[in-house]
Amino acid sequence: MSFEEVQTPKRAALFFVLCLGAALAVYGPFLRRDFTYDDLLVVRDNAFIEHPSNLARLHGNDYLSAAGEQTYRPVVTACYIVEHLLYGKRAAFFSFTGVLLHACSAWMLGLLLVRWKPHARAPAVLASLFYVAHPALVEAVISPGNREETLSVALMLASALAWRRGRDRIRAATAGSIGLYVLALHTMEWSAALPVILAAWLWIGGASLREAFRSVRSHAAVAAAFLAMYFTVYPHAHVDTEWLGGGPAGGLLAFGRLFWSYVRLAILPVALRPHYVYVEPALAVRALGTAAMIAVGAVTVAGLVRRRPWSFGLLIFGLGLAPVSHIVMPFWMPMAERYLALPMIGGAPLMAAALWKLERKPATVFTALILLCFATLTAARAYDWKNGLHLWGDAVERQPEDPVAWSNFAASLTWAGRADEAARGHEIAFRLADKQGTANGHQAINLARALVAADRRHEACRFLAYHGDRFRHEREYVAAAIVFCRDQLASGPAENE
């Protein structure tokens, strides 16, 4: 049966309307929102994206500093420039782009699943709806600051679709697949996993190992060239990152614990938060988690050897998490729900297939309940991302011992004009960071500025002077503190002092 017989244009169009309608149903009511979190740096306060001429500067050495990025992802920046050209800096329109990309990804996922299993259209549609409504993907979808996740997944799936068309001897489709893959690689690094995924797809479908690798050799060559350039030529920002666990071996031990948190988010996506604090558990707990993770990997390999379809979903889930696992390289965030955008391309079909194994009536009931729960949780989470006060207010409720959450909540209070509450929030953030041994000069300056905004000018300068010796090694802090106090003392006493 040919590709065209399985998916007629009319059916494909109706399926896209379904995916887009489902996405708008859960996200549409919350598109009227403010920029928050990473959106502030890379979109709202980013002058680089305001000038279309900067499209010619996406490969220069000053790209990172000019574009406000910490990694080399020029396609994402180009996307911001085009979006700004179309509708300026309006958060609702930027968020709508994310929703549209998300709907396109769910649609292409369903098309690929039907191409793989022509007689399993219902589970394919169900997998797409699970992906659209999954609550853990809200951060990646609605926040334009996380555009790289949604855009890279959409480009990877589009490349995979074109590659399948190329398998039907359509040369233009093969060239298009390579072009889309190059764009995906320059959107987010985890796209390097695509050749392995495509080869596994053919292998599971009955192709020989030799045929599978021959079919993806062009994509593999592109991935190898990109990785070589990424680690040698492309610019990288100098950011303070720690190798979780103290190196590859320690990272493996640490991620064994985090892996199951990702699995929990995939299956039971509740208690979501924008920032995760990694608290190192006992060695026995980490070792047990690592052993269980390795066992899942062994089961996946065994399933691939026996050409079991379920192993393909597990493979995608694991490969999607590999770049952020702290095993391959140090990473600045121990965990984030948005990193499930690619793994759930494998996870959503697994969930759909498991439900479809049940009897018809129980399967229908459970499917309806899960979709209803997912949609409700997604809507609630999208509401949290309405603005910084909602987002970080929820975060400090869930993680009252997290200084980063308190710092961001205090900053949101400042933008809302609630100076006294903002000062209190920064005081809590600094106290928690000090207790955890992570306090730094930047947090001290933030607290001092909040105290000044609350008409506690002299208290702010006394605070900076008290901690001067402590942060003396931070030159930026010392310089900022001197200028700060000089300007504040020169302006005269505060009204309440």
Q: Concatenate the DSSP letters of all residues of 407-470 into one string.
A: HHHHHHHHHTT-HHHHHHHHHHHHHHHHHHT---HHHHHHHHHHHHHTT-HHHHHHHHHHTTTT
Q: How far apart are CA 373 and CA 266, in angstroms?
A: 13
What's the CA dihedral at 352, 354, 359, 360 to 10 degrees? 0
Question: What pLDDT was estimated at residue 251?
Answer: 86
* Residue 20 tokens, joined: 């887009």
Q: How far apart are CA 313 and CA 338, in angstroms?
A: 18
pTM flag (> 0.85): yes
Question: What pLDDT was estimated at residue 219?
Answer: 96
Do the Cβ atoms of 402 and 275 come closer than 8 Å?
yes
Amino acid in the structure at residue 462:
R
Q: How far apart are CA 412 and CA 391, in angstroms?
A: 9
Question: What pLDDT was estimated at residue 494?
Answer: 47
- Give, as one character, the DSSP assignment of residue 246: S
Q: How far apart are CA 411 and CA 415, in angstroms?
A: 6
Do the Cβ atoms of 1 and 116 come closer than 8 Å?
no
- Fold entry, domain 400-490: 1.25.40
- CA 486 vs CA 269, 430, 492: distances in Å: 50, 23, 11
Neighbours of 384 (CB within 10 A): 21
Which residue intervals of the chain bear CATH 1.25.40?
A: 400-490
Question: What pLDDT was estimated at residue 239?
Answer: 65
pLDDT lower than 50: segments of the chain: 1-6, 494-497
Question: What pLDDT was estimated at residue 2?
Answer: 40
